[in-house]
Amino acid sequence: MTGRAYQVMDVFTGDRLAGNPLGVVLDGSDLSDDAMLKIANEFNLSETIFILPPDNPAHKARIRIFTPYHEMPFAGHPTVGGAVAIALRDGIEDAIFVLEENIGPVRCAVGSGHGAKFAEFSLPKLPEPAPFPISREQAAAALGLAPQQIGFENHLVSAWNAGVPYVTIPVADLEAAGRAKLDATFWMELTGGQTGAPAPAAYVYCRQTALHDADFHCRMFAGHVGLVEDPATGSAAAAFSGAVMHFDKPLDGTLVRWLEQGVEMGRPSRIRLSLEVQNRALTEARIGGHAVMVAEGRLFV
Report the DSSP pairing between strands 269-278 and 116-122. Answer: unpaired
**58 CB burial (10 A radius; 0-12, 13-18, 19+):** exposed
Residue 157 phi/psi, 5° resolution?
A: -60, 135
Is 47 noted as a catalytic residue in this protein? yes
| Residue of 47, 100, 101, 120 with catalytic role | 47
Which residue type does 266 have?
A: G
Residue 238 near residue 163, CB atoms below 8 Å: yes
**If you write DSSP's letter for every residue of 28-91 in order, what string do you get?**
-TT--HHHHHHHHHHHTSS-EEEEE--SSTTSSEEEEEE-SS-EES--HHHHHHHHHHHHHHHT
Q: Rounded to the nearest 5 degrees, what angle is found at the Cα of 142, between the Cα atoms of 134 and 271? A: 80
Residue 49 near residue 90, CB atoms below 8 Å: no
In 155-280 the beta strands, taken as DSSP E runs, fall at 158-161, 165-170, 201-206, 216-222, 227-230, 253-261, 269-278
Residue 287 near residue 20, CB atoms below 8 Å: no
| Nearest-angstrom CA–CA distance, 58 and 236 | 29
Residue 81 near residue 49, CB atoms below 8 Å: yes
Active site residues: 47
